[in-house]
Structure 1
Amino acid sequence: MSAVDHSPLTAARETLRRVWGHDDFRGDQAAIIEEVVAGRDALVLMPTGGGKSLCYQVPSLVREGTGVVISPLIALMADQVDALSALGVRAGFLNSTQLPHERAGTEQALLAGELDLLYLAPERLRVPDTLALLDRVTSGGGLALFAIDEAHCVSQWGHDFRPDYLGLSILHERWPEVPRIALTATATQATRREVATRLQLEDARHFVADFDRPNIRYRIVAKDSPQQQLLAFLRAEHEGDAGIVYCLSRASVERVATFLTRQGIPALPYHAGLDRGVRAEHQSRFLREDGLVMVATIAFGMGIDKPDVRFVAHLDLPKSVEGYYQETGRAGRDGLPSTAWLAYGLADVVQHRKMIAASEGDAAHRRNLGRHLDAILALCETVTCRREQLLAYFGQPGTGPCGNCDTCLEPPTTWDGTIPAQKLLSTIVRLDRRGQRYGAGHLVDILLGRETDRVRSLGHADLTTFGIGTELDERGWRGVARQLLAAGLVGVEDDYGTLGLTEESGAVLRGERSVPLRQEPERERRRSSRSSGGRARADVTADLTPEETALFERLRAWRAATAKEAGVPAYVVFHDATLRAIATAAPTTTAELGAISGIGAAKLDRYGPGVLATVAGE
């Protein structure tokens, strides 16, 4: 498929137009592709939905030989190959899910030079037969390139470490003449340096794209009956939309999926404790059906190429900003308005602090986990633009408040919480003098002067701080405790989540440090479409005429039937944006249809007659 009579970039643009139906590249794509086509290495940081795949797929078609993609996404390789096949690209994969005859067929096609792209799981490179196979390819038709997808998996400090990635330095050591491109959707400067070192890409050109996803609205709410909050959010803003709900534990995944289903919202659970066949079925349904909600642990989502995920919700605090960014980035890959919603509370902070204290590894490892937690807590508690803080974490300077996050739409207020902080810390001091430790709930009971059975039996009604906190209600005091924990002014002492002082507490108690606090919001009520949430739901027909809208719906119905017959997700046929463009242009000839962005030669041949018949109302 290589072009020998044109410059590499000209050949790449011709390939892009012929195969994908796009006239030109976006952002850094052209520069990245030019680098790889020329046989040089590249390290690419580009947000989800930014077009990373084209950065290795196009060079694989332009250069001689087969492009080899190293990907951890075994469960998605078949879908990725199906999507490429629909474009007329000859693609295959080798992984542990294949039967022997399937694997043999792929290997034969590879050796015969009949594959443009081959997907490999990283553990395959520990198998001597795989290395020998690639050696044979190198001596025959050749290897066009190595693409290392999800490259952050190589980082010990990253958010999704995979041990098998540590062996990928073999690519450069064994086949030094083959260019490599490593790609990830998120990495801090420290993670990027580690990836470059471990993959021997120090001399590669680094490309860092704009990390902003302006179509995503970021919202973080105080956790209060989280399942009901989630239900209200979905009903008010994303009724009938596809989305992902992330939970920390398998048990909570099951509970939330059952709850949503009982409330009439189609939801499926996904976690590592489920049978592999069940996980595969649920993933397949999510990709192929409209309006499904996947409730999952972070075991789900990497590599999911579903463009119309309209929301990502977190019912538990993510472990890091990297994880949060990666997970929320699965929303709105089609560029249409979407929401990243997170419910966050005191118990989240306590749980994460406990997990860090109990973590295996040395002190440096625990300190690193603590830094990750501090960064996500700072994002949750900020009173400034969340998007600016998120981008700053990845080293990208902001351009001012974004106007599309909750802190921009409804700016929070701060208040001087120094005296309440001193009251809570003083209560901890008085209990400590008795050799006692308690959690936030008991401290709040003391401050509010509640003579519960436990308070009476322990003699805590005699404390001088008993009943001195009636200026706040329980919700307010829990907010104080949460923010003091987030700021490191209170620490988690043991496995039971009891609270104690930290080195920084003394300055507050002595009046040497003030404690500004974020005002706790009123108990969440059902929001109108003009409130801070706004309605982020995307209506792709919003500005179409009635005739265009009717045609768009006919095209969607045709696409659904076509995808079902082929056994592929609907977006493999055409994205909504392409159907919208067809509905607007109403082409009557093959030439007119082929001029629409997103329709390459293979899709024009395969689907053109059906599209034109649908446009004609046949």
Structure 2
Amino acid sequence: MNIFNYSDAPDDLHADFVETDNPEFSLEKTGDAVAVCAAAVFGIQALFPWQRLAIANILDAVHAVQAVEAAEVEQKEGCIDGVVTQDEDGAGDFFEEPTELYDEDGVHRGRQVVLLPTGAGKSLCFQVPALLLDKPTLIVYPLLALMADQHRRMKEAGLDPVLLRGGQSKEERESQFARLEGSAENSPAKLIIANPEILASETILSKIKQCGISHLAIDEAHCVSEWGDSFRPAYLNLSEIIKQLDPPAVTAFTATASPYVLKRISEVLFDGRAHIVRGNSDRPNLRYFVRHCRIKRPALLAEVKSRKLPMVVFCGTRARTENTAAFLIHSLHNDNIKFYHAGLERDEKDRVERWFHNHDNAILVTTCAWGMGVDKKNVRTVIHLDPSPTVEAYIQEAGRSGRDGKVSEAILLWSLDDKTGIESLPKQQRLRAEVMIKYAESGRCRREVLLEALGEEISGNSDVETTVCSGCDICNRSATQFAKDEKSILEFIKKTNRVFTQQELVSLLKNQIKNWRTTDLNLLLKKLKDEKKIISSNSIFWKQKLRVS
């Protein structure tokens, strides 16, 4: 995508008029302001219908509040035209307000949840209207990495947003406040970037309130449900922040939300009452695969060797990212591999982010701390060494690939240990994580399982044509619904019944099975022994020789 500079946009840039109910496109206009802004600033020549709808709702809500406020002022002055009339006795007759704040369904027209697939341009839905509104837009992001990435991109487009986050020095914070207020040389900032925790500061919230907010956008809003109820209670306080700032428009954006998550977002942010704008959640250019295995390192190595770069490998813990990155560097003799997690210092995070963003042959091994909303368009492969805790998280992370629209792949490495781990979770966590078991083991179209979990209608009626999967290993008949490594070892032991001890077997196979090390073989044999699938004979003739039980 070509990025244009906001300040360089020509005054006479024209776009065809599009008839709409949005006040920003009134019949007095000679062109479509939204289309002009999208083309001039962001290089986007055409917006999707769901983007147009989300933007229209935002602008409608702001203009509705402005109209009502103006009517109230004129009413107080006794001169409102068409709303209050006065007879000779000074008595007034009240008529309907010129603009209603609530739609016919009783929902505030400025409260909406927007669900768009990853890569569908959610950011445009709040950046474009921000440039058309008089007062700034406040955007709440969940991760510092995402804040830094979006701040960089906005500055490249000439938007120069205010950035408010923890760890800023007094001088940095004062500089941002100055941008918020504007100066003789620079108009006040149109965009403010923050996270939920920084908005807990009364000083910062007061500064923001003083300048007034037209629109409050909450990006990656599924975090309200996933994190607000556990380790980030600041997300639950967003409802109080909304009430204090009282902006005309509030929009929660996410790429993934199951009915449960959607309900929770609506409850926390909007007291259960919000409009829903939903685009198609499917990403047709993504190909979904599951590799069943018992030992993951050899499986990971095989996948990394056979898939396209750039690549992201998601791990469940910080330690696992570091160990996995070291393992891949050693095994592949490749220095274009780095790890990333929330425990890194800020400068180190910035260096890794810049390195990966500008590198076309890189492998990034990371936790969920990287990736949410980060826009590296040409990631070709995402591999999950560990399953995500929810289907929403998995779709978000898998969706880091193919944001340029080109065919890309998402591979989940799945083992019996993953299933056991999910089944041992507390009930509420288990119920949400169990979708990953269905995704890996049901034998149904991978894409269908994901979309169904998000509440998409999947037809079970044979008379209704269902959408043909554009790519998964189930539908292209390449899936193997069992762990090949386990099956191969069991077949070998069965064939060589009581010929080898564990040590002898490992010594024989370690140089014959590609990508496997001594530790991998010993680990697999230990698992099979613990599960009573193989046993070591105790007889005097077959001492310690392995056989299938």
Superposition TM-score, scaled by structure 2 size? 0.70
Cα distance between partner residues in 2 of 1:342 and 1:200: 35
**Structure 1 residue 131: Cα displacement:** 1.9
Q: Determine which of 302, 315, 319 is the counterpart of 2:385.
A: 315
Kept in 2: contact 1:152–1:191 (CA 8 A): yes
Task: Report the Cα distance in structure 2 between the residues aligned to 1:42 and 1:93, rounded to whole angstroms.
Answer: 24
Would you say 1:407 and 2:494 are equivalent positions? no
| Offset of residue 449 of structure 1 | 5.5
> 1:485 matched to which residue of 2?
none
SS in 1 for 2:410: strand
* Structure 2 gap segments, 5+ residues each: 1-5, 12-21, 62-109, 459-465, 483-525
Q: Do the aligned residues in 2 keep the contact of 1:48 with 1:326 (CA within 8 Å)?
A: yes
C-alpha separation in 2, matches of 1:388 and 1:404: 11
**1:111 Cα deviation from its structure 2 partner:** 1.3
Query: Which residue does the alignment assign to 1:370?
Result: 430
Check conservation: 2:289, 2:479, Cα contact below 8 A: no
Number of the residue aligned with 2:59: 37
Aligned length: 421
1:133 — aligned with what?
207
Once residues 242 and 414 of structure 1 are traced to their aligned partners in structure 2, the CA distance between those partners, rounded to angstroms, is 27
Could you say which residue in structure 2 is the equivalent of 1:19? Answer: 41
The residue aligned with 1:87 is 157
In the alignment, residue 437 of structure 2 is paired with which amino acid? L
Of 246, 257, 261, the match for 1:191:
261
For the structure 1 residues 183 and 161, does the alpha-carbon distance in structure 2 shift closer, same or farther, using more than 3 Å as the test? farther
In the TM superposition, what whole-angstrom CA distance separates every residue of 1:429-455 from its partner, at most 9, and x where no partner exists? Answer: xxxxxxxxxx9633654x5564269xx
Change (3 A) 1:292 1:129: same
**Which position in structure 2 is the counterpart of 1:429?**
none
Q: Which amino acid is the alignment partner of residue 99 of structure 1?
A: S
Tell me the residue number matched to 1:350: 420
Distance between the aligned counterparts of 2:422 and 2:272, measured in 1?
34
Give the deviation of 1:329 after TM superposition.
0.9
Superposed CA offset, 1:28-59 (max 9, x none): 00011000011222211112111110111111
Deviation at 1:404, TM superposition (A): 0.8
Name the structure 1 match of 2:409. Answer: 339
Q: Does 1:65 align with 2:135?
A: yes
Given that 1:73 and 1:121 are in contact with CA atoms closer than 8 Å, whether structure 2 keeps it comes out as yes
Matches within 5 A, 1:446-461: 447-448=533-534, 450-451=536-537
Matched, 1:181 2:251: yes
Show the counterpart of 2:324: 256
CA contact (8 A) 2:292 2:480 kept: no
Say whether 1:330 aligns with 2:400.
yes
Separation of aligned partners in 1, 2:230 and 2:385: 19
Contact 1:218 1:387 in 2 (8 A): yes
The equivalences for 1:465-544 within 5 A come to none
Asked whether the equivalents of residues 218 and 404 of structure 1 are also in contact (C-alpha less than 8 Å), the reply is yes
Report the 3-state secondary structure (helix = DSSP H, G, I; strand = E; otherwise coil) of the residue aligned with 2:373: coil
* Residue of structure 2 equivalent to 1:164: 234
* Cα distance in 2, alignment partners of residues 100 and 157 from structure 1: 29
Q: Mark the CA change 1:20 to 1:442 in structure 2 (over 3 Å): closer, same or farther.
A: same
Per-residue CA distance 1:88-126 (angstroms, 9 max, x = gap):
223221112333222212211211242111101211221
CA distance in 2, matches of 1:13, 1:306: 25
Change (3 A) 1:31 1:282: same
Secondary structure of the 2:287 match is strand
- Matched with 1:592 is none
2:190 is aligned to: 116
Match of 1:56 among 126, 146, 165: 126
Partner of 1:242: 310
CA deviation after TM superposition for structure 1 residue 334, in Å: 1.0
Q: CA RMSD in A?
A: 3.1
Match of 2:171 in 1: 101
CA distance in 2, matches of 1:317, 1:257: 18
Aligned counterparts of 1:218 and 1:159: Cα–Cα separation in 2: 30
**Deviation of 1:128 (Å):** 1.1
The 5 A counterparts of 1:267-278 are 267-278=337-348
SS in 2 for 1:24: coil
Q: List gaps (5 residues or longer) in structure 1.
A: 357-365, 416-438, 471-618
Residue 383 of structure 1 aligns with an amino acid whose one-letter code is: G
For 2:145 and 2:428, how far apart are their aligned partners in 1? 31
Q: Judge conservation of contact 2:112–2:252 (CA < 8 Å) in 1.
A: yes
- Percent of counterpart pairs with the same letter? 32
Sort the Cα spacing of 1:75 and 1:374 in 2 relative to 1 into closer, same or farther, 3 A.
closer
Say if 1:68 and 1:147, in contact at 8 Å, map to a contact too: yes
Could you tell me how far 1:396 is from its partner in structure 2? 0.9
- Change over 3 Å in CA distance of 1:334–1:344 after alignment to 2: same
Q: Deviations over 1:166-197 (max 9, x none)?
A: 11112331233421111112111111111111
Distance 1:95 1:343 in 2: 36
Shift of 1:342: 1.2
Task: Quote the Cα distance in structure 1 between the aligned partners of 2:48 and 2:121.
Answer: 8
TM-score where L is the length of structure 1: 0.63
Structure 1 5/343 Cα, relative in aligned 2: closer, same or farther at 3 Å? closer
Question: Could you say if the C-alpha distance between residues 16 and 254 of structure 1 is closer, same or farther in structure 2, counting changes exceeding 3 Å?
Answer: same
Residue 414 of structure 1 and its aligned partner are, at CA, apart by: 8.3
Cα 1:180–1:98 change in 2 (3 A) is same
Compare relative contact order (CA 8 Å, sep 6+) and give the higher one, 1 or 2: 1
Distance in 2 of aligned mates of 1:244 and 1:412: 22
- The answer as to whether partners of 1:318 and 1:324 remain within 8 angstroms in 2 is yes
Give the Å deviation of 1:279: 3.1
CA contact (8 A) 2:111 2:270 kept: no
* Equivalent residue number for residue 299 of structure 2: 229
- Looking at structure 1, the residues matched to 23 and 282 of structure 2 have their Cα atoms a distance apart, in angstroms, of 37
Q: Secondary structure at the match of 1:390?
A: helix
Shift, 1:285, TM fit: 1.6
Query: Which protein has the bigger helix share?
Result: 1
1:367 is aligned with what amino acid? K
